[in-house]
Amino acid sequence: MPNNTDHKYDAIVIGAGMAGGWAAKELCEKGIKTLMLERGRNVEHIKDYPTTAMQPWEFKHRGRIPYEVEKENPIISRCYAFKEDAMHFFVKDKEHPYIQDKPFDWIRGYQVGGKSIMWARQVQRWSDYDFEGPARDGFAVDWPIRYKDLAPWYTKVEQFIGVSGNKDGLDTLPDGDFLKAWEMTCVDKHFQNSVQNNFMDRHVIYARCAHLTEEREVFKQQGRVLCQSRNICQRGCPFGGYFNANSTVIPWAQRTGNLTLLTHSVVHSIIFDEKENRATGVRVVNDQTKETTEYFANIIFLAAATLNSNLVLLNSISNRFPNGLGNDSGTLGKYVAFHNYRAKIWANCEDFKESKTVGRRPTSAYVPRFRNVKKQETDFLRGYAATFYSARNVEVNSEGIGDELIQNLLGSKGQYRPWNVASGMMGETIPKESNFVALDETQKDEWGIPLLKINIDYDDNDERMIQDFFDQFTAMYQMAGFTGIQTLDTKQAPGLDIHEMGGIRMGHDPGTSMLNQWNQLHACPNVYVTDGACMTSVSTQNPSLTFMAMTARAANHAVEELRKG
């Protein structure tokens, strides 16, 4: 490490999102002078949420995306949260191109806070059934950790971010340190009872979500108050009612005085010193001036989001690592997996006509995985979880124009449709060598970095899982007495689930994996990878809580190793 530079730190964190924020918090709390690099702009809590207090009529297009914007952004406009109130937090298609060898919708947010500003906020722990999955069926490699290794870190994260949920007592979905949950609707409870009475291996619970429903001292210290159930979280919440990195971990790290945050800093590569046999720093291109600067540190945390973290390591080449930093196994960029969100089902509930829904809830009920949990029992590998929504909407007659329209609107006031219910599958895909990302040989972006090529697709296992979801949930809906059942395969491309994982996977063997049990590169242990890229398999749960727990665990390990010299 050069001595004649001001660009020296104890640690560098690449990425200022959910995982990067946790790395910075844990490191800075321990007195580690940390540089955090973010390729996008700064977003300060409250100050940079321009639409958070706007009323529907204040939006020029009533929340819709203008046709011209949608036409210019065919990929990002498919995302459920890319609307007029939050489109400024999303990467536009033309601004950051990539190559689709197979169709893949890459959803990104390049700013401080990353996608933690716009995420869907469901948080579930993994169980040993999830960590043991690859060893049980032989696909992917065995995880080098189990639930007991992460359990205390799950608790640490839950206590800091605030997680609403019930103690459900399920071995497939371990309980955590929860705040009180929102109430289930009468139809939620009806479906819960029906499933419990007719399917002994299945459960319906209220989903755990990263929202504050009770006051605690740590939340006051963060400057956050209770969730107001506005359900416009993707705009950024001025109350701090849900967790994002902007309102919690990053300001927490900044208060220590140990964090330096640099925005508009596009990471080109990690610098490897062949004499020292270790990484010594990071090469950065300024987003606006295109000037290149090098920063140096003893440890480096890579948390740039799954595919970008793969890109950084693939582009970090040297004589020692001609195919990407740490890539002795040849697995870098390979075995990428994701969640299959293609299957939907919905129906009506003709009962409970004396009840209706009032107000909003930040999430839905949830059906944890029940297929192939303890043994292989179907013609497909792994399994799926699912959402369960129920609501009763007002019947609105908007026919006619002028006086006729007014009378129709007034005449339909207070009339309600039957209850509607719906579920969406969250299926586990299998990590395969054929699902990979790589650098393009000729095309580069405006910062001189090769474009990422994405070659990821579904397979026959996914198709069989979709059919099983339709069969099983149709049976569950029928048993609950729901009517008008309809199913849909959206045929959406991978990526729209926004849960891509892998490419820099953990494992026991340096010959078949990239990272050890502490998220360190086997071949370059002062580099840690703790975002979705580290995942060996993807299970069915929303993965963000696991990313944060792994990051907190790895950061504390790094501090211990630094203190040992």
**Domain presence at residue 360:** yes
Distances (CA, A) of 373 to 166, 325, 368, 396, 458: 22, 36, 10, 44, 22
**Domain presence at residue 385:** yes
Pairing of strands 334-337, 501-503: antiparallel
In a 3-state reduction of DSSP, which class is residue 111? strand
**Domain presence at residue 140:** no
Q: What angle do CA 515, 516, 521 make, to 5 degrees?
A: 40
Give strand ranges (E) for 249-333: 259-262, 265-273, 278-286, 292-302
The answer to whether 259 and 251 are in contact (CB under 8 A) is no
Task: Determine which helix (DSSP H) or strand (DSSP E) holds 311, and give its type and residue range.
Answer: helix 306-314
**Domain presence at residue 121:** no
CATH code of residue 416: 3.30.410
Q: What is the largest CA-CA distance in the chain?
A: 82
**Domain presence at residue 484:** yes
**Domain presence at residue 200:** yes
Instruction: Give the count of domains, the chain.
Output: 1
352 lies in which domain range?
170-176+183-206+339-428+458-493
Q: How many residues does the chain have?
A: 565
**Domain presence at residue 225:** no
Q: pLDDT per position in the chain (565 positions), as tens?
A: 555 567 999 999 999 999 999 999 999 999 999 999 999 999 999 999 999 999 999 999 999 999 999 999 999 999 999 999 999 999 999 999 999 999 999 999 999 999 999 999 999 999 999 999 999 888 899 999 999 999 999 999 999 999 999 999 999 999 999 999 999 999 999 999 999 999 999 999 999 999 999 999 999 999 999 999 999 999 999 999 999 999 999 999 999 999 999 999 999 999 999 999 999 999 999 999 999 999 999 999 999 999 999 999 999 999 999 999 999 999 999 999 999 999 999 999 999 999 988 889 999 999 999 999 999 999 999 999 999 999 998 888 889 999 999 988 887 766 888 999 999 999 999 999 999 999 999 999 999 999 999 999 999 999 999 999 999 999 999 999 999 999 999 999 999 999 999 999 999 999 999 999 999 999 999 999 999 999 999 999 999 999 999 999 999 999 999 998 8
Instruction: Report phi then psi at 409, rounded to 5.
Output: -65, -45
**Domain presence at residue 423:** yes
The closest of 485, 479, 380 to 422, measured between CA atoms, is 485
